[in-house]
A and B are shown apart, each in its own frame.
Chain A
């Protein structure tokens, strides 16, 4: 965060803007969140890890028998090795979006938690960053565990799979910050449903279960604009060892998503609480 602070301080004009929203203490928000997590049922926490594993077991074995191998970037890989990175990226997306939307929605609209936090020196950016970083930490733990499973059953085909972990973090960061920005506009439970309407098609269509080469070109272009497609392609390239310069574009895509999301979330929290 100090880098952000430093670069902003260099520009006197915007430093006042950030000064009123940021106290440089997102750690306090994170530790509160950690305490809250500790008091939840450990089975609930553990179950977050189970979901991608069960998907891999079911579809990797069942569909794998029907499909055999799949071509990815010119390399033939087993169906399980094809979907495993997609499940990994999807679970990073799901975890980040759930943490930053549903949980934040409750705190925004029902609990007086943020109101209390913002009555202290903490600013909206501290709150936003603290919540998002905590979501990342949880996501990283799940990701690490799933990658352990992948390695154990021989689905990590290259040493570059190690880089999938930082890749997951930036994917989750992008989704979490954008999610938090978007949820701050929502007022009712019905509006929360829209999150599913966005997540479900992305999950089903973004080369999760089959390559997008099956689509006509027009559909492909649409899919290639979706964040989950970038996430899956990035992780898949790393775990299968099909390294191309295109991977960098995926990283740039998420960096942009993080920037847009953070500005949006902070602006909204400021508008909501620091009237």
Chain B
């Protein structure tokens, strides 16, 4: 290539272009992993914020809600959904924790990277693509949810809350819950530019109601019908029911299990792809 450049050439035309093509092979393939590495290094800087909740939250909730509240329910209605309250509530606590983690991880790091400390622009000035930046963040949250979930599950087993050996798969139900809510949330947060406390509003008007009305502490059917629909659209309810099927065989019909799975996967895929597209528009304006 000398002076005037046509833009329809198809490959290296100088030594410099050949070097560029070689250098980008790894980032093109592994870019999302580099973003993941970044998030893990950042987590290492503040490891207490990750480790203590991972251990403390499950113990507290299993003790307070499983045992404490459970003893009150034993005096009242006895069992719930055919099992003890501890067995009933434990898988729901697991998925609710994943839901909570996702709502934090897909709000703050995404908002930070695009706006408050715009490191995503720095990543994109390096060879990483906007899609890889989103993927890396999705991976980072997945890693955290799965690790937290395994700890949670081990503690559940210790509390005697898991009758079925298949129960460990409930960690995957928790992951699906996190991603199903996290995908669309990530897309929404990535689209934000102005400062109008949107994060607080999402936490209070979406996350909190979903947490309370997704059949976590009691069967969704106990809610009046005009409140049950919140559960039906809530990733947390679908994920929680899957986890209950896995830990104690909640006995849901096959089609309903399929609905749970399809809903969780579909919302994730749509939200995730949308987030990638929005990130692309934003970083490569």
Report A's interface with B, CB cutoff 8 A: 40-41, 43-44, 47-48, 50-51, 54-55, 57-59, 61-63, 65-68, 70, 189-190, 193, 196-197, 200-201, 204-205, 209-211, 214-215
Could you say which of A50, A62, A63, A204 has the most chain B C-beta atoms within 10 Å of its C-beta?
A62
CB nearest neighbor in B for A67: B76
The main secondary structure of chain A at its interface with chain B is helix
Q: How far is the CB of B285 from chain A (nearest CB, A)?
A: 27
Tell me which residues across on chain A come within 8 A of B208, comparing CB atoms.
Answer: 50-51, 54
Interchain residue pairs with CB less than 8 A apart (28): A41-B201, A44-B200, A50-B208, A54-B212, A55-B212, A57-B212, A57-B227, A58-B212, A58-B223, A61-B224, A65-B218, A66-B85, A66-B222, A67-B72, A68-B77, A70-B72, A190-B48, A193-B48, A193-B49, A197-B56, A200-B60, A204-B60, A205-B64, A205-B68, A210-B72, A214-B67, A214-B71, A215-B68
Tell me which residues across on chain B come within 8 A of A210, comparing CB atoms.
Answer: 68-69, 71-72
Tell me which residues across on chain A come within 8 A of B225, comparing CB atoms.
Answer: none
Report B's interface with A, CB cutoff 8 A: 46, 48-49, 52-53, 56-57, 60-61, 63-65, 67-69, 71-73, 75-77, 80, 85, 196-197, 200-201, 204-205, 208-209, 212-213, 217-218, 222-224, 227
Decide: B196 and A41 in contact? CB cutoff 8 A: yes
Decide: B209 and A66 in contact? CB cutoff 8 A: no
From B77, B223, B224, A67 is in contact (CB under 8 Å) with: B77
Decide: B73 and A66 in contact? CB cutoff 8 A: yes
Given that A62-B218, A63-B217 are known contacts, is A47 also in contact with B77, CB under 8 Å in the complex? no
Tell me which residues across on chain B come within 8 A of A43, comparing CB atoms.
Answer: 197, 201, 205
From B57, B69, B72, B85, A200 is in contact (CB under 8 Å) with: B57
Given that A67-B77, A204-B60, A210-B68 are known contacts, is A59 also in contact with B217, CB under 8 Å in the complex? yes
Q: Can you name 5 extra interface pairs (CB under 8 A) apart from A48-B204, A190-B49?
A: A43-B205, A59-B212, A66-B218, A67-B76, A204-B65
**How far is A209 from B76 in the complex, measured between Cα atoms in Å?**
14
Decide: A214 and B223 in contact? CB cutoff 8 A: no
Decide: B65 and A51 in contact? CB cutoff 8 A: no
Count CB-based A-B contacts (< 8 Å): 104
Q: What 3 pairs between A and B have smallest CB-CB spacing?
A: A62-B218, A58-B212, A204-B64
Decide: B61 and A189 in contact? CB cutoff 8 A: no
From B52, B63, B80, B200, A66 is in contact (CB under 8 Å) with: B80
**How far is A200 from B64 in the complex, measured between Cα atoms in Å?**
11
CB nearest neighbor in A for B56: A197
From A61, A197, A205, B222 is in contact (CB under 8 Å) with: A61
Tell me which residues across on chain B come within 8 A of A196, comparing CB atoms.
Answer: 53
Decide: B60 and A193 in contact? CB cutoff 8 A: no
Tell me which residues across on chain B come within 8 A of A44, comparing CB atoms.
Answer: 197, 200-201, 204
Q: How far is the CB of B79 from chain A (nearest CB, A)?
A: 10
**How far is A101 from B212 in the complex, measured between Cα atoms in Å?**
26
Tell me which residues across on chain B come within 8 A of A205, comparing CB atoms.
Answer: 60, 63-64, 68
Given that A62-B222, A193-B48, A209-B68 are known contacts, is A47 also in contact with B57, CB under 8 Å in the complex? no
Tell me which residues across on chain A come within 8 A of B80, comparing CB atoms.
Answer: 66
Q: How far is the CB of B65 from chain A (nearest CB, A)?
A: 7
Decide: A204 and B61 in contact? CB cutoff 8 A: yes
Q: How far is the CB of A146 from chain B (nearest CB, A)?
A: 15
CB nearest neighbor in A for B209: A54
CB nearest neighbor in B for A209: B69
**How far is A113 from B64 in the complex, measured between Cα atoms in Å?**
41
Q: How far is the CB of A190 from chain B (nearest CB, A)?
A: 5
Tell me which residues across on chain A come within 8 A of B61, comparing CB atoms.
Answer: 204
Decide: B205 and A47 in contact? CB cutoff 8 A: yes
Could you say which of A58, A68, A215 has the most chain B C-beta atoms within 10 Å of its C-beta?
A58
Tell me which residues across on chain B come within 8 A of A59, comparing CB atoms.
Answer: 212, 217
Could you say which of A57, A63, A68, A205 has the most chain B C-beta atoms within 10 Å of its C-beta?
A63
**How far is A63 from B68 in the complex, measured between Cα atoms in Å?**
13
**How far is A44 from B61 in the complex, measured between Cα atoms in Å?**
28
